[in-house]
Structure 1
Amino acid sequence: QNLFLLPGYEDDVFVDENGNRRYDSWEKLTTDHNHNGEFDFAPHIKLTIERYLLPTGRSIHRELDEEGNITSPGGVDPDVEVEQKRHNTTELVEMRRIQGTGKLRDYVRDTYPGNEALFDRLALSDGDDVSAYPGFDALFDSLETVLTKQDVRFLLRMEVRRKVQDARGSAFPLGDFQSDLQLQRAISENLSARGESADAVESYKLTFDEPTDPGAPPALLARAEDLRKALAMVKGHTDSGLTP
């Protein structure tokens, strides 16, 4: 902790007759800024500086040398990096449109009363099961979207998690293992180190994505993902009676 004097202010001054480096009531004041006959400290700021270290002892902060050059960028990188899911532009535009209608939020607001326990479970994991949401098919039809039901379920679950967070007055501190591929990998790696498998946990088995081949070229993986999404969009158009 550090105390910093605010600019433009000064402590009162006294004669330290006994040399103990603090004011005693019988000692003489030589400067009394507010003329109250008492020794007063000027306003200070108490600043606490902490540094966070990883178990290995490495700092997570950006490190600079004496000349201001960056010697370490700081931050925390996972030991095994996982590429997150990507949505193409068409999907993102459609997702934003659906969110803008307010229908998902209205659904959550109207359905939550009486289904609090269900929503608590869905917020943690819905098992990628659209039927877990009461009246999902009717909601999906009302959206008139070319998105897949799984895409809409993903958006709806986001609203459910917000509602549950508001209801309990706190966020989910451990993240979302169902949609965060990096967290899924971390859980799998830790379980594997203990000789266990994520498939042994029902909620993990239902929602964890299949790991990609670490040796596959990133560009190839990206093209394969784009193709999958494009086919899903075409199917959505066809199911809606539209011409792709």
Structure 2
Amino acid sequence: MEKLKDLLLKVQKGELSVEEAMKFLRDLPYEDLGFAKLDHHRALRRGVPEVIFCQGKTPKQVVRITERMMQKGTNIMGTRASLEIFEEVEKAIPEAVYYPEARIFAVIKEPVPKNKGLIAVVSAGTSDIPVAEEAAVTAELFGNNVERLYDVGVAGIHRLFMNMEVIKRAQVIIVVAGMEGALASVVAGLVDKPVIAVPTSVGYGANFSGLSALLTMLNSCAGGLTVVNIDNGFGAGFAAHQINKLGGQVE
């Protein structure tokens, strides 16, 4: 909405022609690149711009999308981005930043409002960290304070109990776990804050690539536990951001 106000002001001042303004407005709902239709309207609807899911796209396609979003002056975030894809993006946009564990790249053009509350990201094991980092980096890029607590799964539950101060400070908690996925139920049974569970595909054969953890979390007896899809750290980070921003922003 602020961008629209700025646009109208520029037209009134003669800094922008009516034709140029019409061209901008024509692409505002979405821009058709042939292989992709960029949703430039998403920030107005949802508070954050469209995020590029890089998996399955070619480096050339990701670069083209990133360049078009850059021209609109929006912040850019790409998830499931391989190093190969990032290296191509970096050639076109040197200010792009890569988070290798999370497989995320970002270009921050506009200041991001900071939310007051804390989001805690908890992983059961070290093997769950890539998914946990996807959640943590997503939440941070959306303007949230994040604390990480990794490798505190039920196989050594004392590790969790000895670090409960981190969890108790949080307004929202993301719990990432593979194998049987029990950690989410344990954490949800100890706190009065929203808990978002992320099952991971970490585990042996009967884990069924994360299905066992997903079913455990969906069948949790801890009331109020919310579950996202297998390995969906981005979805958890986004959901935690939406909850946390209800607590207000830093002045």
Larger radius of gyration: 1
Shorter-chain TM-score: which interval?
under 0.3
More strand by share: 2
Q: TM-score, normalised by structure 2?
A: 0.21
Q: TM-score, normalised by structure 1?
A: 0.22
